[in-house]
């Protein structure tokens, strides 16, 4: 006796592509994963048949950011589950999914769309609860660039974005305590070995949901050209404020950096493990005073906010501020060279 296909339920979220009716739709499962589906010509006893795949939120986010096309998403879903369902049986936004058996390559071809159908081809705008951050920051670029320079520019922007976005998320009063602890751990842990600044930004980015991270929205390598990035508005505003402030107050910021760096170097704290730092010591107060001055001249992040994130460890705050300043200086160098601006070239608008 043949095994009866397992029936699951999913909630209809929205149409993604409409052409004489829904052609690609998005559902959500009870577990919170996504189900994306494409209309197919026919299926026994179905009025409006669809072929679907259950995918993780992270994989769906990658699809939205055009890491791959719809064909790939349906063919290689994270959960390795495909389904059929009848949109015509939709009741109160719920449809029943019939688990697809293992399909031969030839059978897959009957259901899969052609290659090259990307998220940019959606005819319907994504709901804000699905799409994540949709703000864009476009940097105008000009002059001559090597590939490693583009990478260097993007990495600095990514680090700064991860830093500011983590602080913004951490300060959200509605953030679950578990997520707050994960951000704080990502902020402090890199310094438990003495001070790995690269791993600081990597760890801050890693604890953010993939859809909340910075994404490339478009690149034109022409001179003049542009780099378009997609993310939340607030971190973009903070990055811009940091660069503008650095250009206006370069000498003051540079002097404060040297003072703070000199104190840590003199007291052999540049490589000190954060857990060995005594926050009650006399040198802690000195570091606190100079770190506050550093935060004040940078004028984009409050010292007290960093202190809370660090678990009241002034040494961690001081190292973070020095690192933040270095990345801002590196990024600002591209602006000083005239190769990057916040103005998009007229020819690229």
Mind listing the pLDDT tens digit for each residue in 124-158?
988 866 655 568 899 999 999 988 898 899 999 99
Mean pLDDT of 163-176: 90
**Is 50 exceeded by the pLDDT of residue 2?**
no
229-235 mean pLDDT:
89
Please determine, for residue 208, whether its predicted confidence score (pLDDT) is greater than 80.
yes
Structure tokens at 47: 């009025």
Closest-CA residue to 134 (of 119, 145, 146): 119
Give the sign of the dihedral formed by CA 292, CA 296, CA 297, CA 299.
positive
- Alpha-carbon span 89 to 102, nearest angstrom: 24
| pLDDT number for residue 345 | 56
Token pair of 115 as six digits: 């290659």
**Domain locations in the chain?**
7-131, 135-348
pLDDT in tens, 278-330: 988 999 999 999 999 999 999 999 999 999 999 999 999 999 999 999 999 99
The mean of the pLDDT values for the chain is 89
Mean pLDDT score, 209-227: 81
* Dist. CA 108–CA 29, nearest whole Å: 23
**Both tokens assigned to 201:** 């930004």
- Peptide bond before 329: cis, by omega within 30 degrees of 0? no
Does residue 197 register a pLDDT over 70? no
In this structure, what DSSP letter does residue 319 have?
H
Residues 22-26 have a mean pLDDT of 96
Strands 7-18 and 94-99: antiparallel
Residue 244 has pLDDT above 80, yes or no: yes
The sign of the dihedral angle between the CA atoms of 148, 151, 152, 153 is: positive
Query: Is the pLDDT reported for residue 44 higher than 60?
Result: yes
pLDDT in the model for residue 106: 85
Range with top average pLDDT, 55-59, 86-90, 124-128, 194-198: 86-90
Residues 331, 209, 202, 286: is their CA dihedral positive or negative? positive
At residue 6 the predicted structure's pLDDT band, cuts being 50, 70 and 90, is: low
Whether the Cβ atoms of residue 49 and residue 84 lie closer than 8 Å to each other: yes
Write the DSSP symbol of residue 231. E
Mean pLDDT over residues 95-107, rounded? 88
Structure tokens at 192: 């438990």
Look at residue 70 in the predicted model and tell me its pLDDT: 96
Cβ–Cβ < 8 Å for 249, 328: no
Buried b / exposed e over 225-248, threshold 16 CB at 10 Å, is bbbbbbbbeebbebbeebbebbee
pLDDT bracket for residue 7 (50, 70, 90): low
For residue 11, the cross-strand partners are 28, 94
């Amino acid at each position: 006796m043949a095994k009866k296909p397992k029936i699951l339920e999913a909630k209809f979220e929205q149409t993604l592509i409409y052409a004489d009716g829904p052609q690609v739709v998005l559902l959500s499962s009870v577990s919170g994963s996504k189900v994306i589906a494409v209309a197919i010509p026919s299926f026994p006893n179905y009025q409006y048949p669809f072929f679907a795949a259950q995918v993780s939120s992270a994989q769906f986010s990658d699809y939205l950011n055009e890491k791959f096309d719809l064909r790939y998403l349906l063919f290689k879903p994270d959960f390795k589950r495909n389904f059929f369902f009848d949109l015509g049986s939709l009741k109160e936004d719920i449809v029943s999914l019939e688990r697809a058996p293992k399909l031969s390559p030839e059978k897959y071809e009957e259901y899969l769309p052609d290659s090259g159908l990307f998220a940019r081809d959606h005819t319907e705008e994504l709901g804000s609860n699905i799409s994540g951050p949709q703000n864009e920051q476009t940097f105008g670029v000009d002059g001559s660039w090597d590939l490693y320079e583009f990478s260097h520019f993007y990495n600095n922007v990514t680090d700064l974005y991860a830093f500011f976005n983590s602080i913004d998320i951490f300060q959200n009063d509605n953030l679950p305590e578990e997520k707050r602890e994960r951000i704080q751990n990502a902020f402090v842990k890199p310094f438990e070995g003495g001070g790995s600044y690269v791993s600081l930004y990597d760890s801050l980015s890693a604890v953010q949901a993939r859809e909340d991270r910075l994404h490339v929205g478009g690149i034109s390598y022409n001179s003049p050209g542009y780099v378009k990035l997609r993310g939340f508005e607030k971190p973009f505003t903070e990055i811009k404020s940091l660069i503008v402030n650095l250009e206006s107050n370069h000498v003051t910021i540079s002097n404060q950096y040297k003072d703070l760096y000199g104190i840590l170097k003199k007291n052999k704290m540049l490589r000190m493990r954060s857990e060995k730092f005594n926050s009650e010591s006399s040198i802690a107060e000195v570091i606190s005073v100079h770190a506050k001055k550093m935060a004040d001249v940078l004028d984009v992040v409050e010292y007290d906010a960093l202190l809370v994130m660090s678990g009241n460890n002034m040494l961690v705050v001081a190292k973070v501020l020095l690192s933040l300043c270095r990345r801002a200086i590196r990024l600002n160098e591209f602006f000083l060279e005239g190769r990057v601006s916040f103005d998009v070239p007229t020819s690229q608008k």
